[in-house]
Amino acid sequence: MYDAGYFKMPDPVGLQEDSKWLEIPRISRTIPFGYKVHEEDEDVLVPIVNELEALEVAKQYLTEYSYRDVARWLSDRTERQISHIGLRKRVQKEKQRKSKAATYKAWAKKYETAIKKLEELEEKRTGAKEKRKAEARS
């Protein structure tokens, strides 16, 4: 058990070391928690697997514990400092991105359906014009 002040958080069992984390482009001065600068290219950030896995477990703890307690646990577990504000911003930004992606996917599905209906209507309308021209000629 991990003592985070008043609360006792259980130590996670078996972080998934086989997860595939990708390199990301560096877009600001600040290096996000779970990443480090690539040795050869300063514009690329390399994932630190144990920090990212611990961050995933920390997100689960947030349903039960405060940001401050979870940030303290995460800093002790990974030996890299993260403030409760930094943790909150990171979690909220990820939620925001997931929500935005879900919205775009829903819009794309609606637009695909609308395009199919439009194509069906255009086919029927075009066919009707051709029939009328053929009838008028005879």
pLDDT tens for the chain, residues 1 to 138: 555 555 555 555 444 555 688 888 999 898 999 999 999 999 999 999 999 999 999 999 999 999 999 999 999 999 999 999 999 999 999 899 889 989 999 999 999 999 998 888 877 765 555 555 555 555
- What are the domain boundaries of the chain? 1-86, 95-138
Query: What element of type H or E holds 116?
Result: helix 84-137
Pair 11, 1: CB distance under 8 Å: yes
State both tokens at 45.
């950030």
Pair 7, 65: CB distance under 8 Å: yes
Is the full-model pTM beyond 0.85?
no
d(CA 89, CA 95): 10
Query: What element of type H or E holds 46?
Result: strand 44-47
State both tokens at 3.
């003592």
